[in-house]
């Protein structure tokens, strides 16, 4: 049992950091040298192929004519084994996830997404950064390579994959795609595009683009995939029919879909005095302030918060983290029960710099993508994971709800995705911010409250009931379109 436990722990270490257990000062398990490679391949081969064939047989007739054309084109490339580079342009509601999930069931397929939430919607999905071992500061490295060794498990999976699927790719920096291209060429020892592999990108350039710290709008545009030298080689496939409209058979849904495309395509004129757009009439329900917005999205939360289905269907989105934090604090105050506080341990990475950065200063830092120094929680509060702990089950972006609180471990239930309802344990872990000018380490639970989320963090998710706080307006390309794509119907939209 002792050796088996070490094997499981080392598998997680390799999956997350690409490093063996002895790197962290623990004893190495007794295993063959090739076992790590076999473990990754076994993970991709552990599916019931008979069941997958049945799913494909039952699902293929459900494809629309438009989806079937794209499916057949991809499957033709897979059968030819000659490589291929595709981009699936898919606005929200066009059935993209259904289509790529069907493609994902063919042979060995590696499915990743730029956001954690999008990764949870894919079978076996993981985040692109963790899977491809991309540098955290890839936006500063035009000649970057993925941190993947030729004899590693993930290298074997990449070489044997019949197709690599990258969802919500429009959020990725062009250097990420170029790093993958160079790495695949190195792994396959050739100069073909992506080493001769088939790569299917999917997403919507009407939504958010790469986040570049302290950047201008021009910087965002220059960083997107369309500006990469690789883009001239892509074959573009398009989904245009909104499946939500067809399923609802509602004329108002068709109007909403067209209005959403007008917003995404920049067809709505700016108001001359504010340089903002005016939302179309009957597009949403407008409320006066945050309090009314909270009451509209989370009515009678004191009696409903333990209903996980009710909780998973709703959230409030805002453009800025300061508004997200304010809303989260305000809603959590409405829950019954004791408020428990967990303070982080903050240290500088370089001990010689400890004089320049006192502990009190480090405690005051509140950095995007990091938990706060003072984390306040109640049982029943929804949270969002900030790090990949055990992909594909626990990815950066996974939403959970607090079930039990102890000093060093949080017990939580996954709210959505393939692992919905599963109870997991969350430990404190050390985290170093990727884009901070101050190199410090924070030991804390890798979570934030998730009654409200930032717009960028929510991309790829669909919710039944959702609010939007626009007291501070959207400030980046595609944020507004991204928000409205999350919603299923006009009736579910509430804007402050």
pLDDT: which is higher, 463 or 308: 308
Q: Is 212 exposed, middle or buried (0-12, 13-18, 19+ CB in 10 A)?
A: middle
What is residue 4's predicted lDDT score, i.e. its pLDDT?
80
In the predicted model, what is the mean pLDDT of residues 458-477?
Answer: 75
Q: pLDDT tens-digit profile of 259-303?
A: 777 776 776 777 777 667 777 767 677 778 888 888 988 999 999
Q: Which of 460, 476, 331 is nearest to 397 (CA)?
A: 460
CA–CA dist 475, 143 (Å, integer): 30
CA–CA dist 287, 293 (Å, integer): 6
CB 345 within 8 A of CB 442: yes
- Tell whether the model's pLDDT for residue 35 goes beyond 60: no
CA–CA dist 320, 474 (Å, integer): 8
List strand residue ranges (DSSP E) for 223-378, in order: 235-238, 285-286, 314-318, 340-343, 345-348, 374-377
pLDDT: which is higher, 168 or 354: 168
Highest mean pLDDT among 92-96, 176-180, 265-269, 356-360: 176-180
Domains of the chain: 49-237 (3.40.50.300), 339-449 (no CATH)
In the predicted model, what is the mean pLDDT of residues 467-472?
Answer: 81
Q: Is 76 exposed, middle or buried (0-12, 13-18, 19+ CB in 10 A)?
A: exposed
In the predicted model, what is the mean pLDDT of residues 77-92?
Answer: 89
Q: Is 218 exposed, middle or buried (0-12, 13-18, 19+ CB in 10 A)?
A: exposed
Tell me whether the omega of the peptide bond preceding residue 392 falls within 30 degrees of 0, making it cis: yes
Considering only 83-87, 113-117, 489-493, which range has the smallest mean pLDDT?
A: 489-493
* DSSP per-residue string spanning 264-308: HTT-SPBPTTTS-BPPPTTSSEE-SSHHHHHHHHSTTHHHHTT-H
Instruction: Return the SS3 of 133.
Output: coil
**Average per-residue pLDDT for the chain:** 82
* Phi, psi torsion values for 396, nearest 5 degrees: -55, 115
Q: pLDDT tens-digit profile of 107-162?
A: 678 888 888 777 777 777 788 888 899 988 888 889 999 999 888 888 888 998 88
Q: How far apart are the first and last CA of the chain?
A: 55
What is residue 333's predicted lDDT score, i.e. its pLDDT?
94
Reported confidence tier of residue 11, pLDDT bands at 50, 70, 90: confident
- Tell whether the model's pLDDT for residue 99 goes beyond 80: yes
Beta carbons within 8 Å of 241's beta carbon, 6+ residues apart = 64, 66, 94, 95
pTM for this predicted structure: 0.82
CA–CA dist 208, 211 (Å, integer): 8
- Tell whether the model's pLDDT for residue 182 goes beyond 60: yes
Exposure b/e, 275-291, CB count within 10 A at least 16 = b = eebebeeebbeebeebe
* Phi, psi torsion values for 430, nearest 5 degrees: -80, 135
Q: Is 66 exposed, middle or buried (0-12, 13-18, 19+ CB in 10 A)?
A: middle
Instruction: Return the SS3 of 26.
Output: coil
Reported confidence tier of residue 253, pLDDT bands at 50, 70, 90: low
What is residue 50's predicted lDDT score, i.e. its pLDDT?
57
Considering only 185-194, 332-341, 348-357, which range has the smallest mean pLDDT?
A: 348-357
């Amino acid at each position: 049992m002792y050796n088996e436990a070490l094997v499981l722990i080392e598998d997680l270490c390799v999956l997350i950091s690409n490093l063996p257990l002895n790197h962290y000062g623990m004893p190495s398990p007794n295993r063959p040298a090739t076992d790590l490679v076999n473990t990754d391949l076994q993970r991709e081969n552990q599916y019931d192929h008979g069941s997958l064939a049945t799913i494909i047989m039952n699902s293929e007739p459900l494809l629309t004519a438009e989806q079937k054309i794209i499916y057949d084109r991809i499957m033709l490339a897979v059968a030819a084994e000659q490589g291929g580079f595709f981009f699936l342009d898919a606005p929200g509601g066009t059935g993209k996830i259904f289509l790529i999930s069907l493609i994902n069931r063919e042979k060995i397929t590696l499915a990743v997404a730029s956001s954690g939430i999008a990764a949870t919607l894919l079978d076996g999905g993981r985040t692109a950064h963790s899977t491809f071992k991309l540098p955290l500061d890839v936006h500063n490295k035009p000649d970057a390579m993925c941190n993947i060794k030729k004899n590693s498990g993930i290298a074997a999976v990449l070489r044997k994959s019949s197709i690599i699927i990258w969802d919500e790719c429009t959020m990725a920096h062009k250097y990420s795609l170029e790093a993958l291209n160079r790495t695949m060429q190195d792994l396959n020892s050739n100069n073909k595009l992506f080493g001769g592999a088939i790569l299917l990108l999917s997403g919507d350039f009407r939504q958010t683009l790469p986040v570049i710290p302290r950047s201008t709008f021009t910087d965002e545009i220059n960083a997107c995939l369309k500006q990469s030298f690789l883009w001239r080689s892509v074959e573009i496939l398009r989904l245009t029919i909104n499946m939500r409209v067809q399923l609802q058979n509602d004329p108002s849904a068709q109007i909403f879909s067209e209005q959403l495309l007008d917003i995404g395509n920049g067809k709505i004129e700016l108001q001359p005095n504010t340089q903002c757009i005016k939302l179309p009439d009957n597009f949403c329900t407008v409320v006066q302030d945050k309090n009314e917005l909270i009451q509209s999205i989370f009515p009678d939360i004191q009696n409903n918060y333990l209903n996980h289905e009710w909780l998973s269907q709703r959230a409030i989105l805002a453009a800025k983290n300061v508004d997200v934090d304010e809303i989260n604090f305000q809603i959590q105050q409405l829950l019954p029960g004791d408020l428990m506080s967990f303070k982080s341990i903050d240290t500088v990475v370089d001990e010689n710099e400890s004089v320049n950065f006192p502990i009190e200063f480090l405690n005051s830092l509140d950095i995007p993508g990091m938990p706060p120094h003072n984390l306040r929680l109640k049982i029943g509060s929804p949270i969002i994971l900030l790090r990949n702990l055990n992909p594909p089950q626990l990815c950066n972006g996974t939403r959970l709800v607090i079930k039990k609180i102890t000093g060093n471990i949080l017990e939580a239930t996954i709210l959505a995705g393939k692992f919905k309802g599963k109870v997991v344990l969350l430990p404190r872990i050390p985290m170093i911010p990727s884009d901070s000018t101050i190199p410090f380490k924070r030991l804390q639970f890798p979570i934030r409250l998730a009654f409200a989320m930032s717009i960028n963090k929510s991309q790829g998710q669909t919710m039944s009931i959702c609010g939007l706080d626009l007291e501070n307006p959207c400030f980046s390309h595609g944020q507004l379109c991204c928000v409205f794509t999350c919603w299923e119907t006009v009736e579910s939209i509430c804007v402050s």
